Amino acid sequence: TTEELQTLVLTTLDQNQVIEDSKNIKFDGKPIDQLAFLGALNSLKSKDMVDYSPIELEFWTLTEEGEQVAKDGSHEARVFAAVPSGEQGIPIAELQARLGEAAKIGQGKAFKNKWISKKGANLVRLVDSIVDQTQKDLLEIKNTSTHKDAKLLAELKKRKLTDKYKTTSYKVTKGPAFSLEIKHEATEITYEMLQSGEWKNATFKKYNFDAVGVPPSGGHLHPLMKVRQEFREIFFEMGFSEMPTNCFAESSFWNFDALFQPQQHPARDAHDTFFLKDPANTDRFPRDLMAKIKVTHENGGDTGSIGYNYKWKEEDAGKLILRTHTTAVSSYMLYQLAEKTKREGVFNPAKYFSIDRVFRNESVDATHLAEFHQIEGVIADKNLTLGDLIGFMDVFFKKMGMDKIRFKPTYNPYTEPSMEIFSYHEGLKQWVEIGNSGMFRPEMLLPLGLPPDVRVIAWGLGLERPTMVKYGISNIRDLLGHKVNIAMIKDYPVCRLDKKMGKELVGLSE
């Protein structure tokens, strides 16, 4: 053990003043392991009880084959010895039968040394005698553990006849605090030491300021949440306030009906939407609003529209679902804004945003999951125009580093006009879809109770795509879900949306 080794060092030093080479020290009659010895030395040195310096030694040994050659001679010398002097020589086949493998290896070298040559099918001697230098060299290495010719050593190693070894041992002397007894070192002052006065005589362990500290363990934000925070700051910077999106379960009423999405719309099918089983329904939405929405869907009510001309059913609106978009929360928030306007008698413009999870009953692949995050922005003010939406989009996406923005008309049940937003991708050299936007229809806004001259512009985009671009993740399952590597969450740096990144953003929810 370390203590036994330490005692051995101290007693040996006490007797001899110095340990010239720790290689010569024996414990229980056996040589000691130098690595364990070093451990013992270091701990004594930290208490200034000893000093030491390393002794590094290089030495050479013979391999099994090297030993063989040192004993019987080199293959070429053995070949030479097997060839008798005289014109006759020895048939090659006979030599091979006699020496086996060594004949093959040795012949070439013996030819090269001009010791032997071929005469018909026989080998004959060219010289009377030879000096087997390889054997001599190997014998020298065997006896002295080295050789003066460094090049030769390297060559013999290449021929697998020798091997090089290194050893480190230590010269040890007494340190300023040498003593035969190892004092216990206190690591900290305790209450008891102060009380008893023991602290006055105690020896304290030195601080090791080079020690690697224990990494502080704390919570870590998921990369998606880091990027979300970055988007949040863009919104806050532009005067937006955050919508309460903490409720994933939503009624079809707020998710679809309040958004003037007809009840037979394919998005309301179980193939596209997750329906809740228990509880499956709710009736917790405002009755008077429900009545207005019903007539607007059926015949347009007093919105100036002709509606969808079908029989609107409360039971469909009451179906509970996992929200398919955060626009469900936007419709609820606009209703709250209308109610506040009625209460206070004045309309105040509003800017809302949210970044949260939505759910779609779709097949999943490397870029799609059944749940993902949407970034959504809503601005309500009097007399807003499509120009305001376009202008605002320019500013918003520029803040994310996307300076080339283009729009394409599209269809949403709740916005008119509606525009898909495209950004020019410098790498792909093409326009890629980054989001969806529009002006909410009067069929949606008027039943909510907003003043007739209030216009609402809104847009949405996905959070996963920019995050994957930012962190270089190509499979969405590495980012979200049960296959996520926890270490990844700890190790990913804080998010900073930069100019370059904007050009990389691709795609919205679909």
- What SS3 state is found at 189? coil
Complex with ligand PHE: residue 347 or 414, whichever CB lies closer: 414
Complex with ligand PHE: residue 14 or 272, whichever CB lies closer: 272
Q: How far is CA 151 from the centre of its chain?
A: 47
Question: How many residues are there in the chain?
Answer: 510
CB of 396 to ligand PHE, least distance (A): 13
CB of 214 to ligand PHE, least distance (A): 46
- Contacts for 496 with CB less than 8 Å, ≥ 6 apart: 230
Question: Could you give the CA distance from residue 477 to residue 261 in angstroms, rounded to a whole number?
Answer: 32
CB 460 within 8 A of CB 374: yes
Question: Could you give the CA distance from residue 435 to residue 403 in angstroms, rounded to a whole number?
Answer: 14
Where do the H-state alpha helices sit in 187-286?
191-196, 223-237, 252-255
Complex with ligand PHE: residue 132 or 376, whichever CB lies closer: 376
Complex with ligand PHE: residue 32 or 393, whichever CB lies closer: 393
Complex with ligand PHE: residue 34 or 436, whichever CB lies closer: 436
* Count of beta carbons in the 10 Å neighbourhood of residue 342: 12
SS3 labels along 370-422: CEEEEEEEEEEEECCCHHHHHHHHHHHHHHCCCCCEEEEEEEECCEEEEEEEE
Question: Could you give the CA distance from residue 276 to residue 321 in angstroms, rounded to a whole number?
Answer: 5
Complex with ligand PHE: residue 328 or 476, whichever CB lies closer: 328
CB of 212 to ligand PHE, least distance (A): 49
CB of 486 to ligand PHE, least distance (A): 30
Complex with ligand PHE: residue 44 or 456, whichever CB lies closer: 456
CB 175 within 8 A of CB 48: yes
Question: What are 103's two structure tokens?
Answer: 């004949």
CB 346 within 8 A of CB 382: no
CB of 340 to ligand PHE, least distance (A): 21
> Which position's Cβ is nearest ligand PHE?
460
CB of 499 to ligand PHE, least distance (A): 25
CB of 372 to ligand PHE, least distance (A): 10
CB of 436 to ligand PHE, least distance (A): 4
Question: Could you give the CA distance from residue 438 to residue 321 in angstroms, rounded to a whole number?
Answer: 24
Complex with ligand PHE: residue 90 or 458, whichever CB lies closer: 458
By the criterion CB under 6 A, which residues form the site for ligand PHE? 325, 327, 376, 412, 415, 436-438, 458-460, 508-509
Report in angstroms the alpha-carbon separations of 468 from 222, 312, 359: 12, 42, 19
